[in-house]
Amino acid sequence: MIRENELAARHLVLPLFVQEGQANETPISSMPGQSRLSLDLILRRAEEVVEAGISGVALFPSIPDDEKDTVASASTKPDGLLQKTIRALKSNFPELLLITDVALDPYSSDGHDGVLIDGRIDNDQSLPILAAMAVSQAEAGADIVAPSDMMDGRISAIRDALDQAGKVETAIGSYCVKYASSFYGPFREALDSAPRGGDKKTYQMDPGNAREALRELRLDEAEGADWVMVKPGLPYADIIHLLRTETDLPVAAYHVSGEYAMLRAAAEKGWLIYEDCLMESLLTLKRAGADIIFTYGALDAANLLREEY
């Protein structure tokens, strides 16, 4: 009766990795229980998501190397892997919220989130590519485009491009505060999207900085973000709380691949109980102030919640 915070399936988003093929499932070794899935298997998983009461899925495409180039040109193909997946999901599950990733790294031969020129990220050359990518996703049926690239000014560029394309109702879920974290390793294995050289510290945030998060928040609010995200989750619970106290926008948290993988690995060793620690982790993110939680454990958590965990 007096519990202060509650977790429900509707607060959760399940990230899904999409790949080409038919009946094609590729397990991700560093993320037990997670796989890259072909479209037919994505549709089956989406049915589970809807039945579990989870609000939406976040889609991440696994692009073959021979389709990658320095300017991520495959990202805007109307018949591209992600666009086909969006259309199929929206046709079969119109009630399911579809969230799409906007960044160059899945499509880039350099593995960076922006255009790499002479060893440096060119912020301004990246913006029109990101905007075109967001429009392509929206035209395929995405409900929320979620820029994770951390280029300056990308929210404004994407909002303008969406409005000009007549996609005024497509929302922008900004990866507003994304740290240059070591917890992303399993995700990069899943998409083969690790930088081919250098790192992402020039455009993702320094883990030592908190006040910078407020600057990023104010910029994204002014540029037209509809909700803001903190990534990773548990190591940055203080930042989630900081944003919750400073904005009226919905705040999302991403319980990232490394956080999920640690729980799975420790449970396999018998050092902890996966289900208990997953639920405690997600409730912690909710208590910190997250309205929305992206987690690879979304289906596990939703099933536990149905059992009145």
Say yes or no to pLDDT of 249 above 90. yes
Asked if 26 and 35 touch (Cβ cutoff 8 Å), the reply is yes
- The predicted structure's pLDDT at residue 260: 97
pLDDT average, residue stretch 138-145: 98
Task: Return the CATH number at 253.
Answer: 3.20.20.70
161: Cα separation from own chain's centroid: 21
**pLDDT band at 4, cuts 50/70/90?**
very high
| 68, 178, 200, 286: the active-site residue | 178
231 catalytic per annotation: yes
Per-residue tokens: 191: 């998409």
pLDDT average, residue stretch 73-94: 97
Q: Out of 69-73, 114-118, 216-220, which region has the weakest mean confidence (pLDDT)? A: 114-118
- Domain annotation covers residue 3: no
Percent with pLDDT over 70 in the chain: 98
- The predicted structure's pLDDT at residue 193: 64
- The predicted structure's pLDDT at residue 232: 97
167 catalytic per annotation: no
**114 vs 236, which has greater pLDDT?**
236
Per-residue tokens: 102: 């906007």
Per-residue tokens: 241: 């709380």
pLDDT average, residue stretch 157-166: 98
DSSP-assigned beta bridge partners for residue 120: 117
- Domain annotation covers residue 43: yes
Asked if 127 and 153 touch (Cβ cutoff 8 Å), the reply is yes
Report the chain's mean pLDDT, rounded to a whole number: 95
| 68, 167, 231, 286: the active-site residue | 231
Q: What is the pTM of this model?
A: 0.95
Domain tally for the chain? 1
pLDDT in tens, 86-119: 999 999 999 999 999 999 988 998 888 889 888 8
Domain that holds residue 90: 9-306
- Domain annotation covers residue 210: yes
SS3 labels along 242-307: HHHHHCCCCEEEEECHHHHHHHHHHHHCCCCCHHHHHHHHHHHHHHHCCCEEEECCHHHHHHHHHC
CA 214/CA 119 separation, integer angstroms: 29
Q: Please provide the distance, in angstroms rounded to a whole number, between the alpha carbons at the two ends of the chain.
A: 15
pLDDT average, residue stretch 279-304: 98
- The predicted structure's pLDDT at residue 197: 67
